[in-house]
Amino acid sequence: MAEKTLGEFLTSALSERRGSNLFLSRSGGAWRFLSVADVERRVRELAAGLLTYGVEPGGCIGLLSESRPEALIADLAIQLCGGMSVPIAPDVSSADLHRILSMTEARLVLLSGARQLDRILEIRPELPSLDLVLLFDRPEAETVIASTSVDTACSVGARRLVESPDLLEAAARAPNCAGGVRLIALALSRENLINATLALESVVELGPRDTVLCLLPVSRVAQRTFQYASLRRGAIIAFGGSIRDCLEVRPTVLVAERELFESLARDLLLQIRDRSWLGRETARWAVRKGRERAHADLALGRLPSSRPWPFRLADRFSLRGLRREATGGRLRLFVSLGLPLPEEVTGFLHACGFPVLEGYDLDEVSGLLAIQTPLAMKPGTVGRPVPGLEARIGAGGELQVRGPMVAGPSAGLRHDRWVATGRFARVDDGGRLIPAS
């Protein structure tokens, strides 16, 4: 790989996208775009600010936030200055928050706002290594720990870059500056995350016409690699908190846990039930035609995509409107992560014209472990392992993996070594994984 650091691997893609939009998020009650140029400038300034504040190559930096543009900008800045990002779920317990920051010895933490700052202040006396807190939202008052806003850090970084234009390039040449992600018991190296991102790009088609809404939490590594791949493939990355945001965002790709899709199927059935008699009977007829189309395509092992004339009629008079009311009408792909969906759920979603790919992710493999592909579909499974990753079933049915995206307690794990995941699964005759519940 030509890029030396994870930060360079990711931000090099931005230079090829100048002039286009990159992020879409709610601000001041309205949905607004953030351009590539603005994101790139912000990332470089924050990275320079972090270096000015004393972040060292390989040093851990906590990231305690909801999914929002500032969180991804912060992660990219951490990678660009050679640090290790420590993602933390915003609803983590105080005990776990203390344990994460203590074990990673994070000297700096980026927070979403005052509520998270209060939680940090409660455990601050037990965190001797913590020196500074940066808030995405400006702090309202002085605290017992040094704190400032990310805006201020960016201003500091901008001045530093004027004085030292080659600051970030020089930092990239320093030892131990490759970047990565640190979890409590795992170190995800630059190589792990780059290979995981490239593997994802090879199995999930993303491109400049896509708007990708990923509803996974910040602390889940798969959220990060989906955003990395979206950034590199030219897609717009949308930030939202629920499927209701689809009506305004109108994404083309939605990534979420399986429970969201089960909930969506229930809501769609309720929508059909609450229609007038004619609308209800039309929708039920349309779903039957959709099931016939889906059943025929799935029997051939492919994602339902054919358009026989009965389905075209059903789509025109009912299904298209149903999809528009539920998700904005532009969705071309659902990615459901976790255990396989019940077949009645996937069957119903396919019948409504929602293409669903089911996959399985683990932090230990830096994100996506396995996923169905449009030409290798089998309901009840989560597909085959992604390219570059091998999986086998060990003693007692435990899932074991090996490959360049497999993380370990340190960055030096050998890729030819089988690693036990603590999860249980079986493999069908076609090599597709079926995780145990």
CATH number for domain 35-182, candidates 3.30.70.260, 3.40.50.980, 3.40.50.2300, 3.40.50.300: 3.40.50.980
Q: Tell me, what amino acid is at 342?
A: P
Residues 6+ apart with CB under 8 A from 114: 135, 137, 139, 140
Question: Cβ distance 165 to 45 under 8 Å?
Answer: no
pLDDT digits over 366-394, tens only? 999 999 999 999 999 999 999 999 999 99
Question: Cβ distance 17 to 36 under 8 Å?
Answer: yes
- Cα first-last separation, the chain: 38
Predicted pLDDT at 225: 97
Predicted pLDDT at 29: 85
Q: Tell me, what amino acid is at 99?
A: R
Residues (pLDDT < 50) of the chain are 1-2, 144
3-state secondary structure of 123: helix
Q: How far is the C-alpha of 393 from the C-alpha of 427, rounded, in Å?
A: 8
Name which of 374, 403, 408, 400 is nearest 386 in CA terms. 403
Q: Cα 173 vs. chain centroid, distance in angstroms?
A: 28
Structural domain boundaries in the chain = 35-182, 243-387
Residues 6+ apart with CB under 8 A from 53: 108, 132, 153, 156
Predicted pLDDT at 144: 44
